[in-house]
Amino acid sequence: MKNTITTFQTMKEKGEKISMLTAYDYSTAKLIDEAGINGILVGDSLGNVILGYEDTLSVTMEDMIHHGRAVARGCQNTLVVIDMPFMSYQTSVYDAVVNAGRLMKEGRGGCVKLEGGIEVVPQIKAITAAGIPVMAHIGMTPQSVNMFGGFKVQGKNEAVAKKLLDDALAIQEAGAFSVVLECVPDRLSVLISEKLTIPTIGIGAGAGCDGQILVYQDMLGMYKDFVPKFVKKYADVGTVMTNAFKNYDNEVKAGTFPDADHSFTIKDDVLEKLY
Ligand code: KIV
């Protein structure tokens, strides 16, 4: 079944949980699509897990388009969401619409995601007015890490909790079809999810959200630079990969790879003429 923003809305209304993972390339997207995951986010987390930066700030529009179109080619049924990178929408409403348009036309996403609350309401209104669905993202928003003074849970005190609720309502009013809640206390997520008619997608926000998202390298144990508390490791693919690389290294050095099964043959009479 092809997932669209309508699927997400219907799932919320029926009380069915929405599953999302990140992906950044064709072959991983294809596996995730085949597994029946509802949505793939081409996250600007690619800055960390693909490009090796310490944060997401250096990710460019070209990076997002390049990885977005690779993911889109791998997806039959999964809704593809492409992140708007740092400074592609904060600068002006005009920039926001132009860059969201590029992610759809060139990146081939089904919608875009941007970070922020009340302060990005004009951008959300303008992008949706241009016919582009918007997923919002509040709580611990990585593009604002320097404002937060590090990766910290948001909404533990009354003032910030109230702001998150106000942000969520404003985003919904502006026309966003869904909102990511990142690093938000579990019972605050329940409250926000109950107050909103659009689906909430949690990451480090407890079980009360309408859906969940994880960075796939985190849940497969492939990225060990920083593992947040909320990550559950579903497989130790990192260790499987390292062991396979070691086995290959050993066999190459021992001369046992490639063997006859992995080589091509030539007829004796053809070869003899060359000697
Ligand atoms: O870029 C990303 O992977 C994200 C998720 C953490 C939601 O924004």
The pTM (predicted TM-score) of the whole model is 0.97
- Give yes or no for a contact between 19 and 200, defined as CB atoms under 8 angstroms apart: no
Q: Choose among 1, 7, 9, 4: nearest CA to 178.
A: 9
Residue 240 reports pLDDT greater than 90: yes
Report the pLDDT averaged over residues 127-131.
98
Burial state string for 214-236 with b = 16 or more CB within 10 A and e = fewer than 16: bbbbbbbbbbeeeeeebbeeeee
pLDDT at 84: 98
Kindly report the CA angle at 204 between 115 and 163, in degrees rounded to 5?
50
Cis peptide preceding 258, ω within 30 of 0: yes
Ligand 1 centre to CA of 41 (Å) is: 7
pLDDT at 166: 98
Q: Which atom of ligand 1 is nearest to the CA of 43?
A: 1
Determine which residue's CA is closest to atom 5 belonging to ligand 1. Answer: 43
**What 3-state class would DSSP assign to 7?**
helix
Ligand 1 contact via 63 beta carbon (within 6 Å): no
Q: Rounded to whole angstroms, how far apart are CA atoms 68 and 25?
A: 8
pLDDT at 110: 98
Instruction: Give the mutation target among 213, 216, 219, 223 for probing the ligand 1 site: most ligand atoms within 8 A of CB.
Output: 213
- H helical segments located in 106-236: 121-129, 145-148, 158-174, 186-195, 216-219
Q: Out of 34, 182, 251, 272, which one is annotated catalytic?
A: 182
pLDDT at 96: 98
Mean pLDDT across the chain:
97
pLDDT at 1: 86
Write out pLDDT tens, residues 141-182.
999 999 999 899 999 999 999 999 999 999 999 999 999 999
Instruction: Give the mutation target among 143, 182, 209 for probing the ligand 1 site: most ligand atoms within 8 A of CB.
Output: 182
pLDDT at 170: 98
Q: Choose among 205, 188, 91, 81: nearest CA to 141.
A: 205
Residue 128 reports pLDDT greater than 90: yes
Ligand 1 contact via 49 beta carbon (within 6 Å): no
Percent of the chain with pLDDT over 70: 100
pLDDT at 58: 98
Burial state string for 260-269 with b = 16 or more CB within 10 A and e = fewer than 16: eeeeeeeeee
Backbone angles phi, psi at 123, to 5 degrees: -65, -45
- H helical segments located in the chain: 5-14, 26-34, 46-49, 61-74, 93-105, 121-129, 145-148, 158-174, 186-195, 216-219, 237-254, 268-272
Ligand 1 centre to CA of 247 (Å) is: 34
In angstroms, how far apart are the furthest CA atoms of the chain? 86
Q: Rounded to whole angstroms, how far apart are CA atoms 272 and 275?
A: 5
272 given a catalytic annotation: no
Ligand 1 centre to CA of 203 (Å) is: 8
Determine which residue's CA is closest to atom 4 belonging to ligand 1. Answer: 43
Determine which residue's CA is closest to atom 8 belonging to ligand 1. Answer: 43
Q: Rounded to whole angstroms, how far apart are CA atoms 129 and 90?
A: 18
Q: Choose among 204, 207, 200, 193: nearest CA to 179.
A: 200
Determine which residue's CA is closest to atom 2 belonging to ligand 1. Answer: 43
Q: Choose among 36, 8, 4, 11: nearest CA to 21.
A: 36
Report the pLDDT averaged over residues 46-67.
97
